[in-house]
A and B are shown apart, each in its own frame.
Chain A
Amino acid sequence: MEQDIKIIIIDREGVKHEVEAPTDMAMNLMEVVRSYELAPEGTIGVCGGMAMCASCQCYVLSNTELPEMQDDEEAMLSEAFYVKDNSRLGCQIQMTPEMDGLTVELAPES
């Protein structure tokens, strides 16, 4: 599957997972985490991916160039907890070939 990219996800217990993600299924980072069950169901992607709950907040650790933050993501992060400068919402990061090598850590559940 040549369209797959590799990304590294550190789960909430600190365990590192190197996973493959398809780039042709309109998947976002939150959905990749769910598909590999790296966080318990019901604790991630609660709103379904509308940038309305911040349950998929993660810290971006690589220098990957990410899509620019839209207003709703910025607003949600401004109300979320445990927010750092490198916080993003996983549901707003689409899996594209440019995301190859992306490394993120899931933020604590809140």
Chain B
Amino acid sequence: MSLYDRLRRNKMIKTDILIIGAGPTGLFTVFEAGLLKLKCHLIDALPQPGGQCSELYPKKPIYDIPAYPEILAGDLTEKLLEQCKQFEPGFTLGERAETLEKQEDGTFIVTTNKGTKHHAPVVAIAGGLGSFEPRKPLIHNIADYEDKGVEYMIKEPEMYRGKNVVIAGGGDSALDWSIFLSDIADRVTLVHRRNEFRGHLDSVEKVQELKNLGKVNLITPAEITAINGDGRVETVEVTKKGEEPYLLETDHFIPLFGLSPKLGPIGDWGLEIEKNAIKVNNSLDYQTNIPGVFAIGDVNTYPGKLKLILCGFHEATLMCQAAYQIINPGKRYVLKYTTVAGVDGFDGTRKEAPKAVVKAFD
């Protein structure tokens, strides 16, 4: 069977540069690669592009992006998406890159935790601090109940229809899901360690309203301290500050304590790791110890490394030149300035500097 047939049968996603991580560095790579007529596909564990900028601090300003005296992290993501749009990047979102397999011909197959396969001659890891994993509360047997009533993320709200649900946490996701599930579940209980919530004011007010209507059962300041059940969650232990713990019957326990980044499976790919980051050759092209695999942005390390978005942009640009050489061995290329050459999108659009009009005097 030819490679093409195998790809078609497995519905493999094929691209020139496979970028792992859709944060600012990954998104800017799409633009720089596009100038070299290289196509990109991005994988990200988060459901939306932008990485930390979208997930952690979309409303916070950044002051050290060249030419932007101030830009909100969320707006920076928007601008980067707009800048690379004409190069039509592909996205595999909400999936974590799990394995990297080098093929006999030197290309790579990267498979996600959901089994989506990607095939590319060049892999650029722009993974930041790693993939965002839910923070799990310290309940000794919680792992035994994962997917048996304990869920750290709500993927299919319908599965809670008519059920008893206990949500723990004090941020926006705990509030928003309590509001949302109050219409679906039979009973929603929200447990938080404090009386105050850290969320948008309207979400807090809405939960207060639902509490008054008896649609959300609010228990504060309290914690879930144990999970019980025979093979599935049946009860959770609620400990209210200064009171005796008691059991609460429930079908689901959903702890929503935010996400924390972990290097994760990338750490097992045979890459040289130092200080939780991937060692690269910074005198040349940010290639790792595996030829054809590059690491750019916050995820890499080298002498003098600074974890700054602007450094990621620079690293991405140099990396693309090296990728071009791998994909087009021996093919000539010289750096062009966008002002001179314009930008030809893969979607058929063209951006170019307006031509100066020469008009003779009468």
Contacts and interface: CB of A to CB of B under 8 A. Distances in A.
Contacts of B170: 75, 78-79
Contact of A79 (B57, B129, B257, B301): B257
The range of chain A's interface size is 10 to 19
Contacts of A3: none
B258 A79 contact: yes
A79 B260 contact: no
The range of chain B's interface size is 20 to 34
Contacts of A47: 52, 56-57
Contacts, number: 58
A110 B194 CA distance: 20
Contacts of B137: 81
A79 B198 contact: yes
Contacts of B261: 42, 46
Given A75-B196, A82-B138, A110-B135, A55 B260 contact: yes
Interface in A80-110: 81-82, 110
A25 to B, nearest CB: 16
A41 interface: yes
A41 B277 contact: yes
A91 B240 CA distance: 29
B276 A41 contact: yes
A104 B271 CA distance: 35
A79 B169 contact: yes
Given A75-B196, A110-B135, A50 B277 contact: no
Interface string A46-67: 1100101101000000000000
18 contacts: A41-B277, A42-B261, A47-B57, A50-B56, A50-B57, A55-B260, A72-B198, A75-B196, A78-B198, A79-B169, A79-B171, A79-B193, A79-B258, A81-B135, A82-B138, A110-B135, A110-B138, A110-B260
Which 5 A-B pairs have CB atoms at the shortest separation, nearest pair first?
A42-B276, A75-B198, A41-B275, A78-B194, A78-B193
